[in-house]
């Protein structure tokens, strides 16, 4: 179990060591948070940073609900798995990250370089898979963007996805994928890292 990149690998990269540490090596999922708020200006800066990262045909299907009202918080927490409720209750900001399953309707505007882009996604099964894959790419960009803003993030998958979708993105066009706590880490915020797969377990040469 490694807690940091080894020195030789570290030195192979172009990214500066402090940036490696901020985004990856020293960043951990937070399980407690202080009460210090997360502002819309911080979120706008995160969006501005990560918005240019790539998605298929620039489809950008991610849609997000910033849970700021007490009533929305109550409704969200009720749909979280029991183990996630205290975190979703305590974090200064909770974000519901969803995908727009009908993202193809915006392609004329965001993919003007591909005239038949909308028609490429007329098959619903294929379109929904693309919506899930590409919104997930954007969720990862968002996670790293939160860290780039000096904040901690706690992504969670343990929730009733259909119920959260219906609550925050009603109408059948979206699907909630991840709920993320965002804020400054509180006392005892971090757990030891669980084991990571080795290079040879993930990569094979063909």
Contacts to a copy of itself from residues 164-183, by CB under 8 A: 168, 177-178
Q: Which of 24, 119, 162, 172 binds a copy of itself (CB under 8 A)?
A: 24
Q: Which of 60, 79, 84, 181 binds a copy of itself (CB under 8 A)?
A: 60
d(CA 191, CA 194) in angstroms, rounded, equals 9
26: CB partners within 8 A, 6+ apart: 4
The nearer residue to a copy of itself, 8 or 171, going by C-beta atoms, is 8
Going by the DSSP 8-state scheme, the letter that residue 185 receives in this structure is: B
The nearer residue to a copy of itself, 75 or 90, going by C-beta atoms, is 75
∠ CA 121-124-127 to the nearest 5 degrees? 45
DSSP E strand boundaries for 45-151: 62-67, 93-100
In whole angstroms, the minimum distance from the beta carbon of 109 to a copy of itself comes to 6
Instruction: Report 128-167 residues binding a copy of itself (CB under 8 A).
Output: 129-130, 132-134, 136-141, 143-144, 147-150, 153, 155, 157
């Amino acid at each position: 179990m490694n807690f940091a990149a080894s020195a030789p690998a570290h030195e192979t990269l172009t990214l500066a060591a402090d940036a490696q540490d901020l985004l990856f090596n020293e960043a951990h999922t937070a399980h407690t948070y202080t009460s210090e708020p997360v502002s819309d200006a911080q979120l706008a800066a995160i969006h501005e940073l990560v918005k240019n990262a790539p998605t298929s045909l620039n489809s950008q299907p991610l849609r997000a609900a910033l849970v700021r009202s007490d009533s929305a918080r109550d409704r969200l927490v009720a749909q979280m798995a029991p183990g996630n409720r205290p975190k979703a209750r305590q974090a200064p900001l909770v974000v519901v990250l969803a995908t727009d399953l009908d993202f193809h309707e915006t392609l004329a505007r965001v993919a003007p370089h591909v005239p038949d882009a909308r028609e490429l996604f007329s098959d619903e099964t294929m379109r929904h898979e693309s919506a899930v894959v590409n919104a997930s790419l954007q969720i990862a960009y968002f996670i790293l963007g939160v860290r780039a803003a000096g904040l901690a993030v706690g992504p969670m998958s343990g929730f009733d996805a259909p119920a959260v979708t219906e609550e925050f993105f009603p109408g059948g066009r979206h699907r909630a994928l991840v709920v993320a706590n965002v804020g400054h880490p509180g006392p005892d915020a971090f757990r030891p890292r669980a084991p990571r797969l080795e290079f040879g377990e993930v990569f094979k040469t063909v």
